Amino acid sequence: MGKVIAITGKGGTGKTTVAALAVRALAERGDGPVLAVDADPNTNLDAALGIKATESVGAIREEALEKVTSLPGGMTRAEFLEYRLRECLVETEKFDLLVMGRPEGPGCYCYANSILRTCVDRLSDSYTYTVMDCEAGLEHISRRTTKDLDLLVILSDPTMRGLETGFRVTELMAALKNTVGETRLLINRSSDSIPLALESAAQQRGIEIWGTIPEDEEIKRLDGEGKPLIEVSAENPVFAAVKKVLDSSL
């Protein structure tokens, strides 16, 4: 069974950047296939990875509901969803990408959600590593749409508001009794030292801030030019920080 890594935190903390660099780092290990899952409809993990996704799981769910009485070839809805799920997978030589998306219309999605959750879990078992770029909110965790995790990376910016989101994720995972192998709470776009106020707040909650990820001009330049963030240099300090986190637990 493969390893599952989830990247979460407050919006704007750099989750997609870290997720893209994690995909590259794991692919460069060369010890098995990597699946990237864009579980945040407000980000563009495909652009950060330098590829283009044209379909999403959300759209497949809508399609299955519309075709409930006209599925092809006598397929069950479960069979149709799994078939279409594999069709919307974007495959490359180094990694594959699945975009979750968001439903476009009203309706009850409970049954389709359950099937898709099973299909995505089954799909991820075919990969050595699955990297999930999660929503800024706690939707995937609170709805239990994130399977048990081997590594949970919680990102905060150097603000108390960002850190509070990190605290809530940690506490929610404990309340839901999701199995998490390792948790890494990181302050992104920060200096080498953790701001004293943030460190004090974390200590009061009994939560460890594992480290920091620096602000970086190369990342800013690539982002500003609309280039894939996965193209950072091998010596990039953000890439090095992401590899350090992965190497510490996987």
Identify the CATH number of the domain in which residue 164 sits.
3.40.50.300
Residues in a beta bridge with 6:
132, 152
pLDDT of residue 1: 76
DSSP class of 242: H
pLDDT of residue 180: 84
pLDDT, tens digit, 9 for 90 and up, residues 120-172: 788 888 999 999 998 876 666 655 555 678 999 999 999 999 899 888 888 88
Domain, as residue range, for 125: 3-247
Confidence of residue 222 (pLDDT cuts 50, 70, 90): very high
Within its chain, how far is the Cα of 10 from the centroid? 13
| SS3 call for 185 | strand
pTM of the model: 0.89
Q: At residue 245, what are phi and psi to the nearest 5 degrees?
A: -65, -45
**Helices marked H in 93-182 — which ranges?**
110-124, 139-142, 160-176
Q: At what angle do helices 237-247 and 15-29 cross, to 10 degrees?
A: 70
Instruction: Report the half-sphere exposure of 106 (CA within 13 A, side-chain side).
Output: 0
Q: Tell which phi-psi region holds residue 101, choosing left (phi > 0), alpha (psi between -120 and 50) or beta.
A: left
pLDDT, tens digit, 9 for 90 and up, residues 54-98: 888 877 777 777 666 667 777 777 787 788 888 889 999 999 999
Structurally, the chain folds into a number of domains equal to: 1
Residues 8, 15 contacting (CB under 8 angstroms) = yes
**Number of Cβ atoms within 10 Å of the Cβ of 172:** 13
CA-CA distance, 99 to 151, in Å (whole number)?
A: 20
99 CB contacts (<8 Å, ≥6 apart)? 38, 45, 46, 53, 55, 56, 57, 88, 90
Strands 34-38 and 129-133, sheet pairing: parallel
- What is the average pLDDT across 20-27? 98
Return the closest-CA partner of residue 49 out of 4, 101, 94.
Answer: 94
CA-CA distance, 123 to 110, in Å (whole number)?
A: 20
Most confident region among 157-166, 180-189, 227-236 by mean pLDDT: 227-236
Confidence of residue 20 (pLDDT cuts 50, 70, 90): very high
